Structure 1
C-alpha cells in the first residue's frame, strides 16, 4: 500500500523517461522493433514520420544551418578584405600627399570616396601659423573644442543638433553622425575633429563598434602632425 501511494504521489515524468533512455543506451537494442513503430509529426507538414525519418530531417536542418554559418563567415571575410584594401588605399593617399596644406581636405575626401560616406568634414586647430588661414582651421568654437576633448572614443549616433554638423555641405541631411576626435595620444587634448554623416539613421549608431574609426583617427592624427606648431 505504501509503494502504491508513493507511485500516486510521485508519478513517472517525461524527464524520468528521458533520463532512463539516456542512461540505458542498450534499451533500443533489446527493443529494436520500437524504432520502426514510433511515429512523429514532421515539422514540414502534418504527416507522420518514423523516428529515423525525423532524425534524418533534424540532421538535414543542422547541415543547412552550418552551411548558412559558413556562407556568413565567407561573406564577412570578403567584407573585411575589402575594408582592409580601402584602408590601405586611404593610408597611401595620405602618405603621397606632399603638400601638408592639402592633408585635411584629402583625409575627408578620400574617406568619403573610398568608404562611400555620404558626407564628411574636418576641422583642425592649434596649427602652425602658416596654415591659420585655411578653411579647415576656421569657425571652431571653444564649446566644440571642449566637447571633442571630452570624447574618449568616437561618438556614433543620431545627430542631435551638433554644432559640428554645420561644417557639412548639407547639415539637414545628416541624420546619423560619427564624431571622431583627433589627438596626439589618448591623454592629449584634441586638436581636430573628423565628422562623418549619413541620411541613414542606422549608418552610425550607438551599438556599432568603434575600433575601425579609432584606427582612422590614429592614422589621420599622425598625418596631421605635419601641420602642428
Structure 2
C-alpha cells in the first residue's frame, strides 16, 4: 500500500470528526482536563473548561453591554417623544394663526435645545403678508426649498437661509427643513436650525426626526395660506 497517496489529516478533518462524534470526550474524559489553552488574559495556560468559562463570561458581558445600550436608547427615544409631544401641543394650543411661526421657533429652541431657529413662509394669505416671517425669502431660496426632497444637514457655506438667523456667523452646522402642503412638490416655507457645533447637524446624520418636525410644522402653518 502506497501511504504517500493518502492525504494528510487536516485541522478541518479533526474538527469535523469531533463535531460528528459527540461521545468522543465521554470515552476520553481525561483529555478535557489535560488540554491546555492560552488565556487572552495574561497569556497563561488554562484548562479547556476554564477557557470555555472565560468565553461564556465574555459573551455575557457583551450581552449586558448591548442590553444597557438598548435601555439607554429607549430612554432617549422616550425623552424625544415627550419633547415632540410638548412642542406639538404648543402648536395646537395656538389660537391665532399669525402667532404660529413664533411659537414653532420658540418651542423648537426650548424643547430640543437648538441654539438658533428661524422660519420663513411665502405664499401666505393677504392678512399675513406684512409679517416678518413672510418677508425676506428670495426666489432663489424658494426654488432651493422646493428642490429639497429631505432636510439639508451640513456645514454653513453662506447659504441665504442662514441669514435669517440672529447670528449667522456662529452657525457652524445647519438643518434646512422645507415646508410643504400635503404632497405638493412646491415648498411654501423653510425652517432653519443652527448650531455652533459642526457635528450637531452633520451631513451624514439621519433625517427622519427632522422630517417629522417639517411635517408637523407644515400642517400647523398651513393655516397661514389662502383658503
- Aligned residue for 1:191, secondary structure, equals strand
Match 1:47 to one of 39, 44, 47: 44
Deviates more, 1:49-58 or 1:98-107: 98-107
Q: Determine whether 1:6 maps to 2:5.
A: yes
Displacement after TM superposition at 1:206 (Å): 2.7
One of 86, 96, 99 as aligned partner of 1:99: 96
User: Which TM-score applies when normalising by structure 2?
Assistant: 0.96
User: 1:170 & 1:24 partners in 2: Cα distance?
Assistant: 73
Which residue does 2:56 correspond to in 1?
Answer: 59
* Residue aligning to 1:146: 143
**2:26 aligned with 1:29:** yes
In the alignment, the residues of structure 2 paired with residue 186 and residue 6 of structure 1 have an alpha-carbon distance, to the nearest angstrom, of 74
Shift, 1:125, TM fit: 0.4
**Does residue 85 of the first structure (1) align with residue 73 of the second (2)?**
no
Counterpart of 2:177?
180
Query: What number of residue pairs does the alignment pair up?
Result: 226
Contact 1:152 1:186 in 2 (8 A): no
**Unmatched segments (≥5 aa) in structure 2:** none
Are 1:74 and 2:71 matched, yes or no? yes
**TM-score (normalizing by structure 1):** 0.95
The answer to whether the 8 Å contact 1:182/1:192 transfers is: yes
Cα distance in 2 for partners of 1:6, 1:35 equals: 33
Output the aligned Cα RMSD. 1.2
Q: Which runs of 5+ in 1 are unaligned?
A: none
State how far apart, in whole Å, the 2-side matches of 1:116 and 1:139 are: 26
Following superposition, the deviation at residue 27 of structure 1 comes to: 1.0
- CA distances 1:114-135 after superposition (whole Å, capped 9, x unpaired): 0011111100000111111111
